[in-house]
Each structure stands twice: as structure tokens, then as C-alpha cells.
Amino acid sequence: MRKLIDSIRDAHNALLIGALLLLCLGGLLYLYPREGNFKYTYSEGQIWQYEDFYAPKETEIYLLDEEFESAKEVLRQNAIPVYRRESSVETKKIEAAREVIHQAVAYMNPTDFSEWTGNSVKDEGAIEAAEAGVIEALHDIFEIGVINLDSQHEDFNTNNEIRVIEGAYAADVKVADLLTLSSAFERFSNDRRSGPAYIHDAVTPMIAYNLVYDEAATLKLIETRINGIPRKKGELKEGQLVIRKGERVGTDEIRELDAIRKNFEADKGSRSWWLILLGQALLIGMALLSIMVIIYIVRPEILEQPSRVTFLLILILIMALMVKGALLTDSVSELLVPLCILPIVLRAFYDSRFALLVHIVNVCMLGFIVPSSFDFVILHSFSGVMLLYGMKSVARRSEFFTASFILLIAYSITFFALKVVQDGNLNTITLQDFGWLAGNALLSLLAFPMIFLFERSFGFLSEIRLLEISDSSNQLLRDLNEKAPGTFQHSLQVANLAEEAIREIGGNELLVRVGALYHDIGKMETMAYFTENQHGVNPHNDLEPSESARIIIRHVIAGIEMARKARLPEEVVDFIRTHHGTSRTEYFYRKAVQADPQVDDAPYRYPGPLPFTRETAVVMMADSVEASSRSLKEFTDESISDLINNIIDYQQEMGQFQNAPLTFKDISLIKKVFHRKLMNIYHARITYPEKIR
């Protein structure tokens, strides 16, 4: 039982990372669509790149959505407007006309009445007969219909038809067969039944519109006709050829493929949902496992810190949420999703190779969520490669704008190429597509605040942070310059040597520079005890060798305390801890040996640890070489070369680099860089052989 507990304790990192991976897998699985995906992607004009495709079962073919919408639009444009005959208008106006006529006839003299009606006697029967003629003329006008054309129909010509409804009856009538208000006035005026001038002048105002536009009835008629549009275009028999490989996808093929795809999606209930879920879990699991393998090969140190794995998985989930959100929002295209935020953020904390590998795996994993997986993967993979190639660093804000511009160009070219290859024409490419891509490039600038957020949340060290603390106006560096100017100048020279060397062998140049600038800040506590700060007086002359060694060694501990108090990143503190490794203070140790050959060397050794990165090892070399070079009596090619070789070879013999990933070739290159730089610093001359006589 004890062994089991010990093994669990020893493997707690692996168990925690495994739990994090399971949580991430569950989150991604939740975002994946539950139904199986139709595995073919196609668009009109595109070349069919798959095998010959046959109908899997009997399938009914329907109009495409765009065809149906086009048919509806044609129907709307050619729709017959509906006008309602208002019978109440005729009733009211004729009743009013009777009163007007009755009053006019009552005051009419017999002579005028006789001329109008031909009856010399103005009795009740003759009056009723005269009134009836006027009313009939008025009724005929209302019977034909006086139309009040709606403003949207003012451009109708005489051949246009409208539908006139009255009660339950409806009839299509040409506009030419109807009356306007002015034509109705004229018709009534020319009708002999309308009576003498003062009779028809009195009755004419009774003529009014009785055909009025009915918008609701018109829309209902349009809807009825739309519902009557036949959607079915035919049917496919099981096993019938739909399209051959290499053929261009046309409208007919689109109809057939759409029908088959919709049947496939509608038939999801007949497929085992748990099998689809299992397949998705396996795919996501393989993708996450691939990322873990990449970490193991490229950045194994991440596996030692579960918080770093947490950061990476959170970043992956954020990308998946953005893709899913775009797919759920009809008004937003998936082209807008800034997936290249991931490689930018990873590049800020790690290197381009690691960022690229994780980005490509992530894009492939998310490709199963979107409809056009192939296009999605190609678009974001190619653009990510171009982004990381063009983005030299993330140390300056201008680099983010450069990255955004590179992304826009890469996205645009890749998208254009995909469309041309697949569709064979430019008709399917719209400015809106490039607008989405431009928005994507702009949204990639969100990487800047995300880097800051992750840096503070997970204790990362970005190039932006390194630039901030490398500024000479930083409080610690200002104090070092004021209190120990000799040490400050020494640190600057060490930074120059180390930066040049790490550039030659490969590594984080900015981190090396910052580490070198801060590696000796502990000397501020007792600056007079270090030769570079002394001016003729050496306080070690009055001390025992062991006490001198204690003071010298103390600057490492003091430096760590100062760095942590100033909240410097641990990666920078590592340079303070390791720049002497476990080496001895040789001068004071040898002085002690002269007095007592049996003296223990433990009090004269630095506490370590040994340098464990290329960067910390290079700073150790640069520190020793730069300090020792100040004691040279003459600066020649030979003396500088001997100095560098003696110091680095001795450090190597003492095992100071055994934990650092350096090769013999790396060390040889470092020596050459140091030699070149010191020659330039001290303006040393090369010793030429005597001329052969």
C-alpha cells in the first residue's frame, strides 16, 4: 500500500495532466455536432474530386432554395393586385343623388321639365321616371368601377390586370376597362340620362371611388400562389449515377446532392448516436494526444508544470468556442473567427516551431465542426505558417500590426485560390468574404491583451515583459548603476557577449540579455568587496579567506532576494542562481590552502544549482570570461584565446555544464564568438608570424 501511495505521489503531475485532458476532451465533445457529417463538400461550378457518386437510396429531388426564392420573387413582381368593390359607397352616393335630384326637379319650371323628359305635365310619375334615368346613369358608372389606383400601381398600363372582389366573388379585370374619377365625370356628363346641365352638375359630386386597394388580400393571394409553387423536380432511383469524378458540378447535380445530403441529415435518428459520439471522442483524443507528443518532443518542460498544460488547453477551448459561436450565428461567417490568435500567443511564450505544430493540430481538430472542413484547414494552416514566418518576435506592439497585415494577405490569397480552384470562376467570390477576412485579421490583435492576461494569470514570461525589465530605467538597474557602476558596466559587457553567443548557437537572445543584466545585482549589498567597484582600497586584505569567500558567495543569495522582492520572473532569477554554478571562489580557496593544505573546500563553493539551459550556461561562460579578461596584462590574439579556452575548459572539466543541453560544437562556437567580441572590445592586434627570409 505504501508503494502505491508513493507511486501516485510521484506521478501526480501525470495524473493531473490526464485529468485536464479529459476535461478538455469533454468540453470539445460538447461543442461538436451530434449528427454525422455528410462527408462531401461541393459548390456549383466546382470540379467533383471524389469517386463516382451514386444515389444511396430512392430520393425525391426538389427545387434549390435559391431557385425557390427566385420563383417567389418573380411571382411577387408579377402578382395581380387585389381591389375591393365597396358596395356601401354606391348605396350612400345614390341615396344622396336622389335627394339632390328630387329637390332640383321640385323647383324646375314646366317648360324645362318638358324639354328634359318630353312630358308636359310634371306629375309624380313623370318625376320618378326622370330621376330613374339619372340614377341608372350613375349606377352604370359604379357598376363599371371607379378605381383609386394605389401609388405602387400608378405605372400600370391599359393591359395590366387587377383582381376585383365583391363579397365572395372575384374577377380579373383590365385596368383599361375601369374608370378613373376624371373619366367617370366625363362619362356621366356625356350620358343623355344625366339630365340638363344643372341636374348633372348637382349629381356629379356624388361620383366617388368604389374600387380600393386591399393589401392584405393581395398578400394572401401571393402567399396562396407561393404555396402552390411545385417544389418537386423529380426523383433519383437507388444506385442511379449522380456525378462522375472530374465532372463539373452544375445546377442539376446541386439539386440532387442537396436532396441526398438533407436525407442523410434527416436520417440521423436511424444512426447510432453513441457510435458518432465515440468516433468524435477518439478523434479529439488523438488530436489532444498529438499535442502532448509535440510537447514531449519540442517543449518537454511544459509537462513538468500542469499550469502550463492548463493554459494551452484553455486556449484551445477558446478557439473552439469562437468557431461554434460563429456557426450558431447566421449573421456571422466562420471566416471571421481569428484562429491565428493561438499561434501568436504561443509564439509569445515559446517558439515558432511549437506554435506552428500546435496550431495545425488544433485547426485539424476544429475542422470537424465546420461544414467545409478541407477549406477551413487549408485556409488557417497556410495563413498560420505565413504569420509565424513573418512574425520575427512579439516584443514590440508594431509586430502585432505586422502580423495582422500578413494574416490579411495570406488569408486573401489562400481564400481566392481555393475559390478559383474549386469553382472555376469568380462569380462566387464577393467583397463581403474579404470583409470577413479583414475582420479576422483585425481581431487577431486581441492576442496582445490575451498575452498580458495569460502572463499575469499563469506566470509566463513574454518578450514584452522581458523588454520592460531590460529597460535601464528599471529601478533595480538604476540602483545597480548608481551603487555599483563597475558591476553595472561588467553586466553590460556580459550581456553583449552572451547575446552574441546565443544568437550563434540558437536560443532566446532577449532572455539571455536580461539574465546577464541582472545576474550580479546582489553585489549592491557589499559592492566595495568586488574588484570592479574598488578604487585602490581592497577590504579583503583585512579578512580571513573564509570570510571573504562568504561575502563573495553571499551576492548570489542577496541577488535572489532582491530579484524576488522586485517580482522579477523566475526565469530571470535562474540566471542569478546559476551564473556561478557550484564552482569555487578559487582565489580565496587557494589562499586558504596556503595556510592549511587540508582545508575543506565546501565553504568556498557556490550553492548552485548548475546551469540547466543553454541560456544560463552561456551567461556563466560570459561572466567568467569577461571578468577574467580585465586582469590581462596585454591584449593579443593569443592571450585572449588562451584566456577563453582555459576558463571554459576548466568549467567543463568541473562538470558545470553537465545539466545544460550544449554540444561540443556549441561550446566551440561560443569560444569563437567570445574571442571575436573581446578582440573588438580591447582593439587587440593579431600576432603575425615573422616573415620568412
Higher pLDDT pick, 622 / 637? 622
Higher pLDDT pick, 180 / 426? 180
pLDDT at 183: 87
Using pLDDT thresholds of 50, 70 and 90, give the confidence band for residue 605: very high
- What share of the chain in percent tops pLDDT 90? 32
Map out the domains of the chain as residue ranges: 2-28+273-458, 37-63+231-270, 76-226, 475-682
Residue 130 has pLDDT above 70, yes or no: yes
Whole-number Å distance between alpha carbons of 81 and 153 = 8
Higher pLDDT pick, 359 / 200? 359
CB 418 within 8 A of CB 378: yes
Q: What is the mean pLDDT of the chain?
A: 84
Using pLDDT thresholds of 50, 70 and 90, give the confidence band for residue 270: very low
pLDDT at 689: 46
Label each residue of 72-120 as H, E or C: HHHHHHCCCCEEEECHHHHHHHHHHHHHHHHHHHHCCCHHHHHHHHCCC
Task: Tell me the mean pLDDT in the region 663-692.
Answer: 77
CB 669 within 8 A of CB 504: yes
Whole-number Å distance between alpha carbons of 496 and 485 = 17
Residue 690 has pLDDT above 50, yes or no: no
Higher pLDDT pick, 269 / 622? 622
pLDDT at 391: 78
Whole-number Å distance between alpha carbons of 177 and 143 = 11
Residue 306 has pLDDT above 80, yes or no: yes
Q: Which residues of 492-516 are buried (b: 16+ CB within 10 A; e: fewer)?
A: bbbbbbbbbbbeebebbbbbbbbbb
Task: Tell me the mean pLDDT in the region 70-82.
Answer: 84
Task: Tell me the mean pLDDT in the region 177-204.
Answer: 82
Using pLDDT thresholds of 50, 70 and 90, give the confidence band for residue 547: very high
- What share of the chain in percent tops pLDDT 70? 90
> How do residues 417-474 score in pLDDT, each as one tens digit?
888 877 666 776 788 889 999 998 998 988 888 888 888 788 777 777 888 888 888 8
Residue 269 has pLDDT above 80, yes or no: no
pLDDT at 277: 82
CB 135 within 8 A of CB 98: yes
Lowest mean pLDDT among 499-503, 575-579, 627-631: 627-631
**May I ask the CATH architecture of the domain 475-682?**
Orthogonal Bundle (1.10)
| 259 burial via Cβ count (<10 Å: 0-12, 13-18, 19+) | buried
Which grid coordinates belong to 51? Answer: 469517386
Using pLDDT thresholds of 50, 70 and 90, give the confidence band for residue 684: low
CB 505 within 8 A of CB 461: no
Residue 398 has pLDDT above 60, yes or no: yes
Residue 195 has pLDDT above 80, yes or no: no
Residue 685 has pLDDT above 80, yes or no: no
Task: Give, rounded to a whole angstrom, the gap between the first and last alpha carbons of the chain.
Answer: 86
Whole-number Å distance between alpha carbons of 428 and 421 = 12
Distances (CA, A) of 347 to 322, 491, 663: 20, 28, 26
Higher pLDDT pick, 289 / 348? 289
pLDDT at 118: 67
CB 581 within 8 A of CB 609: yes
Higher pLDDT pick, 454 / 693? 454
pLDDT at 451: 85
